């Protein structure tokens, strides 16, 4: 995957291979966006199809991407860039969650003009504010993301904000510490993005 054991997040996302799933833990949203947009920009530069999914307004995302140097109008017009807004998921019940169905339809679109994406971003899709949401998230990660989405040939980055739970994540026996350890077992790589330019990324395989 990467030649270096540790890498800067911006450099790391430029070299993600197809089929790899990366988890991004971040404290500052602007830093996370910078990393995610670089991931998208790198793919678009290679004429790869990219999908960006988040809770945020699509027009706001387009403006942010444009500010980072991505010609959103051009790439959306030629079918290389798709931006979707979906509500945050609070619970996962296999086969019954309507938001999951919508998410699946967006990612695994059966429209003739949309192939499976080469690069996919899922930004802050899942809520992890309670014990039940943590358990639900792990069900989603194991039953949906690591199985259904692993069938994709493209690369994926899934993000989680951790600014409000940093003090508890360091406790490996606590709920959030166990949650993070469980995620690290089922991803191919990880990015820890704390303050601007104080991040690290590495392969987990």
d(CA 125, CA 205): 25
User: Which residues does residue 26 pair with via DSSP β-bridges, in sequence order?
Assistant: 161, 193
Q: Tell me if 151 sits within 8 A of 114, measured CB to CB.
A: no
pLDDT in tens, 78-123: 999 999 888 766 555 555 444 555 666 666 663 434 456 899 999 8
**Position 3 in a domain:** no
**Position 58 in a domain:** yes
Q: How many domains does the chain contain in total?
A: 1
Q: Tell me if 198 sits within 8 A of 20, measured CB to CB.
A: no
Tell me, what CATH number does 37's domain have? Answer: 3.40.50.300
pLDDT in tens, 31-54: 999 999 999 999 999 999 999 998
The CA–CA distances, whole Å, from 116 to 93, 195, 204 equal 24, 33, 25
Taking alpha carbons only, the member of 27, 8, 12 closest to residue 169 is: 27
Domain that holds residue 56: 9-203
Question: Which single residue is written with the structure tokens 């104080």?
Answer: 198
């Amino acid at each position: 995957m990467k030649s270096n054991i540790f890498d800067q997040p911006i450099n790391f996302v430029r070299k993600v291979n197809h089929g790899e799933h990366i988890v991004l833990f971040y404290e500052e949203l602007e830093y996370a966006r910078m990393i995610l947009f670089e991931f998208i920009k790198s793919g678009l530069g290679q004429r790869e199809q990219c999908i960006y999914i988040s809770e945020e307004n699509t027009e706001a995302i387009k403006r942010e991407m444009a500010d980072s140097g991505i010609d959103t109008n051009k790439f959306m017009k030629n079918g290389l860039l798709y931006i979707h807004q979906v509500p945050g998921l609070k619970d996962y019940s296999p086969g019954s969650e309507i938001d999951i169905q919508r998410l699946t339809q967006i990612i695994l679109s059966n429209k003739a003009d949309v192939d499976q994406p080469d690069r996919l971003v899922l930004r802050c899709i899942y809520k992890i504010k309670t014990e039940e949401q943590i358990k639900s998230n792990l069900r989603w990660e194991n039953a949906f993301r690591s199985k259904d989405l692993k069938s994709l040939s493209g690369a994926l980055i899934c993000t989680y904000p951790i600014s409000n739970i940093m003090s508890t994540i360091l406790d490996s026996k606590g709920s959030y510490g166990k949650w993070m350890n469980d995620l690290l077992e089922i991803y191919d790589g990880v990015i820890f993005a704390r303050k601007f330019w104080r991040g690290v990324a590495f392969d987990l395989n």
